[in-house]
Amino acid sequence: MEPLQAPARRRRLGELGVFLLAVLVGSLSGMATSMLLQPWVTAATAGTASVAVATTCTGATHARLAHRQPWMRLLPKIGVGAPLAYGVMRLVHMLLGS
């Protein structure tokens, strides 16, 4: 292995680690959302909301870890993004008939 390849390999492993951590945080957020909503809404609604929260939190975690955006700037985006993602998902489900 040439010396110039080692930093590139470390950078790729670092990017993979950031990606996996973001997915883990998003998945845990989605699971928590589903568990919190299940007593009050149907299973389908809780599932759709959990996917919306999971994707939004994954994106926010990636923005924090990869682009160093402060959490306080990301929290309002999560607050707006998750309900927006939920609405879009519900619209797609309605259009597809599922």
Confidence (pTM): 0.78
What are the Cα distances from residue 9, in Å, to 6, 13, 62, 73, 87? 5, 6, 20, 31, 40
Tens digits of residue pLDDT in 5-34: 667 777 777 888 899 999 999 999 999 999
- Beta carbons within 8 Å of 52's beta carbon, 6+ residues apart: 82, 83, 85, 86, 89
Q: Where are the domains of the chain?
A: 5-96
pLDDT of residue 12: 76
